[in-house]
Amino acid sequence: MELIRYGRVVRRWAWLIILCPFVAALAAGVLSFGLPKVYEAKVALLVRPAQPLSGDPSVAALTADQILRTYARWMTEPPILQKVISDQNLQTDSATLSRQITVTPEPNTTILDVAVRDGDPARAMNIANTLVNDFIAQVKETQQTEATLSSKDNFVVVAPAVQPTQPVFPRPVLNIVLGLLVGLIAGIGLAFLLDYLDQSVRSDEILRERTGLVPLGHIVYTPAKSERRGELVTLGGDSPVVEAYKALRTNLLFSSVDKELKTIVITSAVANEGKSRTAANLAIVLAQAGHTTLLVDADFRRPSQHRIFGRVRNLGLSNLFVQDMPEASLFVLDEQVKDLVVLASGPTPPNPSELLGSIQMKALLARFRQGFDYVVMDTPPVNAVTDASVLAASSDAVILIVETNKATYPGVLHAKQALERVGARVLGSVMNKMRPAGGSYYYYQYGYGSAAPNGKAPTSPAESESKTPARVERD
């Protein structure tokens, strides 16, 4: 599961993971070609240490390493450097020149590696050779002035400095390669950081881990058709989205094995997640399976079912409370779907929450249970108002509609906890408006040739929109 999750993160942020190495390599290349070039000249100096001539055992012989380190320190002292500056007519000082010089004893030998770096290759060569020559002369002069207690150390220039042809800094190829590597690491790290900080719901696996919601269905994004009842996609025959709603119906029926589920509240955490369209199409597929189904628009604040089904809004649920209309005019079978009755919201009452939690509403629910196999109720978002929670407390189950890549884990969790606090049974979640990845409609893509012309499914939502005028869904 972790590998699948990592792969999902990499696929989602692939553009960032590709962009970061490219930008880092480009920056490294620009900086490398913009920086001044530095050349390095090297001299290999062989030191032949002499041993003390005295037989006094108290005079200890120095090790080769001690001698080499002493000479390496001596070579970078100001007197030697000032002599080099004078000989080469350099426009610098000993402190600056010392930073250009590196003297390193070669391990397991008596050779000193003298390296001089400079922006001018000829000057680097001249400084290196002059430094070694002036140093040898200075050592010999010092040895002649001291008492002769030992033989003198000898120096041999094994490899004099030659003029370098290639700069040691900057190294564009190496810098670009390092930029690519660092950029790749930074891109992957940034991708996982952004994925961690992004709280939008992207998969039902993570949603289940964070909220405990069982996935009941996966509805692919499908734009509404321009004609009347264009949002009722389940009236259009076999297609991947129709099969998705049938799968939701099947999962709902299996959920009622242990406990009878007749009254079902459809809601969401926030608005515009597609709860109204899901409620309408779920009611249709339940009726198509031979179950007498009542679809109730209990969203008095922003009712949608009258618009979706092309009905009159002012005839519906609220009329049942005041009994100002005959029930025969309210409970009418749908003209296209047998066994389906759509009850619109009716006139908007001044107190929707109190109305939905009243004794009259509980009595209506009892009547609905007796007259229908299933009652699907479209309600307002849980996190916006308390209507859904009040009605869910008197219902058999609640289904939370979650819009992929829009809803957030904290928002969905807050909605679930709000429902559970009133004793509602949250049956699970429906992942809505899922975007096809790579042309596939999740796992509902088994041989439905009528999904598109020539039996080919649209490759993307954009292609679908170009062929079918989109219609804004309101919850």
Shared-domain flag, residues 218 and 298: yes
Shared-domain flag, residues 178 and 101: no
For residue 333, the 8-state DSSP code is B
Shared-domain flag, residues 374 and 390: yes
Q: Which long-range contacts (CB under 8 A, 24 or more apart) does 65-72 make?
A: 65/105, 67/110, 67/153, 68/105, 68/110, 68/112, 69/105, 71/47, 71/103, 71/112, 71/135, 71/139, 72/103, 72/104, 72/105, 72/112
pLDDT at 434: 86
C-alpha 16, offset from chain centre: 9
Rounded distance, CA 86 to CA 131, Å?
11
Residue 165 lies in a domain: no
Q: Which two tokens stand for residue 136?
A: 């040898």
Locate tokens 């949002």: which residue?
Answer: 231
pLDDT at 444: 40
Shared-domain flag, residues 275 and 302: yes
User: By three-state DSSP, how is residue 426 classified?
Assistant: strand
Rounded distance, CA 30 to CA 13, Å?
26
Rounded distance, CA 187 to CA 193, Å?
10
Where the chain has pLDDT below 50, the residues are 53-55, 149, 438-474
Residue 296 lies in a domain: yes
DSSP 442-471: TT--SS-GGGSGGG---SSHHHHHHHS---
Residue 83 lies in a domain: yes
Shared-domain flag, residues 402 and 442: yes
Residue 302 lies in a domain: yes
CB 200, CB 449: distance < 8 Å = no
Residue 100 lies in a domain: yes
Shared-domain flag, residues 343 and 452: yes
Q: Cα 286–226–450 angle (5° rounding)?
A: 60
Rounded distance, CA 151 to CA 382, Å?
97
- The single-letter code of the amino acid at 158 is V
Rounded distance, CA 430 to CA 397, Å?
14
pLDDT at 87: 92
Residue 473 lies in a domain: no
pLDDT at 458: 40
CATH, residue 107:
3.30.70.1130
Which residue, of 159, 185, 217, is where some domain finishes? 159
Residue 221 lies in a domain: yes
pLDDT at 53: 44
Shared-domain flag, residues 293 and 440: yes
Of 459, 474, 400, which is closest to residue 431 (Cα–Cα)? 400
Shared-domain flag, residues 292 and 357: yes
pLDDT at 440: 42
Half-sphere exposure (Cβ direction) of 250: Cα atoms closer than 13 Å: 8
pLDDT at 296: 95
Rounded distance, CA 75 to CA 35, Å?
29
Rounded distance, CA 99 to CA 119, Å?
13
- The single-letter code of the amino acid at 219 is I
Rounded distance, CA 441 to CA 459, Å?
9
User: By three-state DSSP, how is residue 105 classified?
Assistant: strand
Residue 474 lies in a domain: no
pLDDT at 61: 66
Rg of the chain (C-alpha set): 42
Model pLDDT for residues 33-74, shown as the tens digit of each residue: 888 999 999 999 998 887 554 445 555 567 888 888 988 999
Half-sphere exposure (Cβ direction) of 373: Cα atoms closer than 13 Å: 15
Q: Structural domain of residue 339, as residue ranges? A: 204-467
Shared-domain flag, residues 16 and 140: no
What's the structural domain count of the chain?
3
Q: Would you mind telling me the total number of residues written for the chain in this entry? A: 475
Shared-domain flag, residues 109 and 248: no
CATH, residue 454:
3.40.50.300
C-alpha 168, offset from chain centre: 39
Answer whether the bond into residue 347 is a cis peptide, omega within 30°. Answer: no
User: By three-state DSSP, how is residue 194 classified?
Assistant: helix
Shared-domain flag, residues 126 and 149: yes
